[in-house]
Amino acid sequence: MKTVPKRQGKSASRRKEIIQAALACFTERGFTETSMADIRRRSNASTGSIYHHFKSKEQLAAEIYLEGIRDYQAGLLTTLEDQESARGGIFAVVAYHLRWVEAHPDWTRFLFQKRHAEFMDSTDDDFAGMNTEFVQRCSRWFVRHVKAGTLRRLPPDVYLSVLLGPCMEFTRHYVSGRPCTPLDRAIHELGTAAWRSLKTDAARKGVNHENS
């Protein structure tokens, strides 16, 4: 994953080491629990070095956060855009989400924990831009199917809420450690629920009304 600018090899590796160490600490001890000293020890970097690369602990976390979101969103988008049928897209997204969560439990926990962190408002445009691009590309896919008559016409924010909201909520439950419905079943149920919410009454299972 390419980060942001064109950093030279030597320094970039230091930077990555720090990020890796920080992520490990954060996921295993929690954000507020881990001290800069922990990160320093684990990465073998000095205080000065860390602060050369990152403005603050918060900003270091933000960086990690963005990297995770980027991976998640990128995968989700290609998954979605690969799907021709409306029904396929809806189910694929739900499955993608839950599989990603299953495959990256630590990441997930961290992302959820930081989801409403204070840096979210003020953070650089990276986040805002990334996010609007995400919404736009999702919308584009949806619009196609709305025009084809397979999906109901809804505002984009409502779309995403209906499609991803249940996944998020279920995930919250999943990472909390309390017992919950097995993932296969959940994928099936949440996919079905989303599909029932979003499809038009005309659309039928498996039938694809794509045309101009």
Partner DNA sequence: TCATTACTAGAATCCTATTCTAGAATATAG
Partner DNA sequence: CTATATTCTAGAATAGGATTCTAGTAATGA
Residues 15-44 that bind DNA (CB under 7 A): 34-37, 44
Figure out which of the listed residues 59, 113, 123, 208 binds its own copies, where binding follows CB under 8 A: 113
Shortest Cβ distance from residue 10 to its own copies (Å)?
34
C-alpha closest to that of 170 among 156, 184, 181: 181
| Residues written for the chain | 212
CB nearer DNA, residue 35 or residue 132: 35
Residue 39: how many CB atoms within 10 A of its CB? Answer: 24
**Which amino acid is located at 127 in the chain?**
F
CB nearer DNA, residue 2 or residue 205: 2
Asked if 187 and 171 touch (Cβ cutoff 8 Å), the reply is no
Q: Is 103 exposed, middle or buried (0-12, 13-18, 19+ CB in 10 A)?
A: exposed
- C-alpha pair distances (Å), 122 with each of 57, 61, 128: 15, 14, 10
CB nearer DNA, residue 19 or residue 101: 19
Ranges of beta strands (E only) in the chain are none
With CB under 7 A as the contact rule, which of the stretches 49-57, 107-115, 138-146, 179-187 interacts with DNA? 49-57
Should residue 2 be labelled a site residue for DNA when binding is judged by CB under 7 A?
yes
∠ CA 178-182-187, nearest 5°, is 120
Figure out which of the listed residues 12, 106, 189, 209 binds its own copies, where binding follows CB under 8 A: 189
CB nearer its own copies, residue 33 or residue 210: 33
For DNA, the binding residues (CB under 7 A) are 1-3, 7-12, 14, 34-37, 44-49, 51-53, 55-58
For its own copies, the binding residues (CB under 8 A) are 30-33, 112-113, 115-118, 120-121, 154-155, 157-158, 160-162, 164-170, 172-173, 176-177, 180-181, 185-186, 189-190, 192-194, 196-198
